Amino acid sequence: MQFGAKRGVDIVLAGAALVALALPMAAVALAIRLTSPGPILFRQERLGHHGRPFTLYKFRTLHVDCEDRSGLTQPVDGDGRITGVGRWLRRRSLDELPQLINVLKGEMSLVGPRPHVEGMRAAGMDYRELVPWYDARHQVKPGLSGWAQANGYRGPTADAWAARARIAHNIAYIQNFSLWLDAKIIWRTLRNEILRGTGS
């Protein structure tokens, strides 16, 4: 029952956000186009519900000749591949806004484990080797934000302990799902990443 309501909330909020943010997103698109040659959007295959692949959309934040479409080479602080506009977008997680389209298409939810690329690595090894129960995170749709991100577990996964903690938070979210928990995660994401600029 709650998962059906969750889909309804996704449609209403994602649709409203796209309408409300249409002008700011157009301004971001123009800034990307004027400051860095290449496409405005970055498209990449990620794993979704039940491990099915889908095409994820983001505002492009890297110089076009430096993009890694495999997603296995993660940007880090001070990474020279990131454009000036891209650095500002990533700090506030605004590069993720085009994923509202993924939400409307039913490929993602507003809240859920962040979608990974196939073969995602953490601490120098395949995530599935580091965390044997890794694929359990695919029991629900991936999200724009999630319980791990709301608790500070985001960005590059060079540390094994942090990588395991991220998956543990993913599983805890699935086990304790409620619309109230989703609302709490959305609020924390808006407060920490967009208002305070603590994204990466």
Give the pLDDT confidence score for residue 78 in this predicted structure: 67
Give the pLDDT confidence score for residue 52 in this predicted structure: 97
Cα within 13 Å of Cα(24), Cβ side: 10
Task: For residue 172, count CB atoms less than 10 angstroms from its CB and return exposed for 0-12, middle for 13-18, buried for 19 or more.
Answer: middle
Is residue 182 over pLDDT 90? yes
The residue to which tokens 């997680």 are assigned:
93
Give the pLDDT confidence score for residue 198 in this predicted structure: 53
What mean pLDDT comes out for the span 173-192? 93
Is residue 179 over pLDDT 60? yes
Is residue 69 over pLDDT 70? no
The residue to which tokens 């989703």 are assigned:
182
pLDDT digits (tens, 9 = 90+) for 82-124: 898 999 999 888 999 999 999 999 999 999 999 999 988 888 8
Residue bearing the bigger pLDDT, 39 or 80:
39
| Residue boundaries of the structural domains of the chain | 2-195
CB 83 within 8 A of CB 63: yes
CB 49 within 8 A of CB 109: no
Is residue 73 over pLDDT 70? no
What mean pLDDT comes out for the span 137-155? 91
Please give the backbone phi and psi of residue 44, each rounded to the nearest 5 degrees, phi first.
-150, 140
